[in-house]
Structure 1
């Protein structure tokens, strides 16, 4: 970065930052929000999915569920380590929030965050049985794929590198969801899958956040976003609808 160029201009032109020492205040706040949302969603998601491990109908399914819980927790750890470089108390962090806390199944909080942490709203809802967990994992996994494709290019280089390592792991989680759903459909559980798809679709859609153009432009200028959230959501909707159709299910 030249001496004449401001850090804002540097970021707007695609520049990368590599250390907490040279990030401006607003950038720091948005970056920490991004990291906390990911960490909290992974920890809350893992905590919720852990309760379904023993609901798996066979050893293979239980191993897959346990692997997802392990890897989501590890993914959270990768990003939490970066938060620690910004001063977060990583030891206290993991034990400070009630990751297993859930609302009633019929609660309607839109995209609101938990009062306890920064998890996405979708992780405030409880799972109900194996088919429900499989469908939520599938739809949310496809959403995570879209988000991580975006986040692998963020302007804070250490975080971009962490997301590039995490992306194929999360993609495999979505694929496990697809495999699990296909198996349940073959077993005559399509009605259960459709009921769960109808429930989770709008809640997963809300995880993409709002469509405020001014905020979107500000994040793009900082290199923390490339595409508007509405475009990401539409891409997820097209992909998820195709996957549901392949499973013999209807888009909600």
Structure 2
């Protein structure tokens, strides 16, 4: 960084930061919020899938669900270690929130969070059975892939590198979900799957946040965002919609 350049102008010009010591307060706050949202969502997502493992119709399906639980927990730990460098209490974190807590199935909280933690709103809804779990994972894993493509380019280099390492793992969760979805279609569960799509589609879509976020330009100037929520959501809608179309299902 040039000596006559402020950190703010350095970031706005595309610069990167590599450790907590020279991170401005506002940048730190937004970075911690981003990391907490990811960690909390992964832990809450893993907790939801842990409850569904034994509902898998066969050994292969149960192994896939268990793998997702293990890897989501590991992904959370990877980012939590970076939060620890900023002073987060990593030892207490995993037991500090009720990760299994869920709302009623018919609740509709939009993009808001609950008082529990920073998880995305979608992880406050309960999964009902194996078919529902496969559909939810099919839609949400594609959303995570889209979001990680964005966050893999953020200006805090250690976190960007962590997200780049996590991205193919999360993409594989989507492959497992698609494999399960194809099998369910072949077994005649199309109507049940469509009902789950109708339920989860708007809730996963809401995970992209408000289309008119007033914070975007500020985050972009800090190198923490590049693409608007609306553009990310549009990309997800196209990609997830194509996956559903190939299965003979319709977007919600």
TM-score when scaled to structure 2?
Answer: 0.99
Task: After TM superposition, list the pairs within 5 Å mapping 1:233-244 onto structure 2.
Answer: 233-244=233-244
Stretches of structure 1 that go unaligned for 5 or more consecutive residues are none
1:44 alignment partner, SS class: helix
In structure 1, what is the equivalent of residue 231 of structure 2? 231
Unaligned ranges ≥5, structure 2:
none
Alignment partners' CA distance in 2, 1:65 and 1:117: 24
After TM superposition, the structure 1 = structure 2 runs for residues 92-111 of structure 1, keeping only pairs within 5 Å, are: 92-111=92-111
Q: In the alignment, which residue of structure 1 is the partner of 2:159?
A: 159
Q: Give the superposed CA RMSD.
A: 0.7
1:82 corresponding residue in structure 2: 82
Q: Deviations over 1:14-59 (max 9, x none)?
A: 1000011000010000000000000000000000010000000000
Residue deviations 1:162-195 (CA, integer Å, cap 9, x gap)? 0011000000001111111111001000001100
Whether 2:245 is the aligned partner of 1:245: answer: yes
Residue 44 of structure 2 corresponds to residue 33 of structure 1: no
Report deviation, 1:134: 0.2
> How is 1:199-214 mapped onto 2 (pairs within 5 angstroms)?
199-214=199-214
Corresponding residue of 1:7: 7
Cα distance in 2 for partners of 1:106, 1:145 equals 27
Report what 1:145 is aligned to: 145
Q: Deviations along 1:102-126, whole A, 9 cap, x unmatched?
A: 0000011111112010000000000
Aligned residues: 252
Regions of 4+ moved over 2 Å: 211-214
1:193 corresponds in structure 2 to 193
The answer to whether the 8 A contact 2:213-2:229 is kept is no
Measure how far apart 1:251 and its partner are. Answer: 1.4
Deviations 1:175-223 (A, max 9, x none): 1111111110010000011000000000000000113353111111111
Q: Quick one: distance in 2 between partners of 1:61 and 1:76?
A: 23
1:219 aligns with 219
Name the residue aligned to 2:168: 168
Tell me the TM-score normalized by structure 1: 0.99
Q: Is the 8 A contact 2:42 2:73 kept in 1?
A: yes
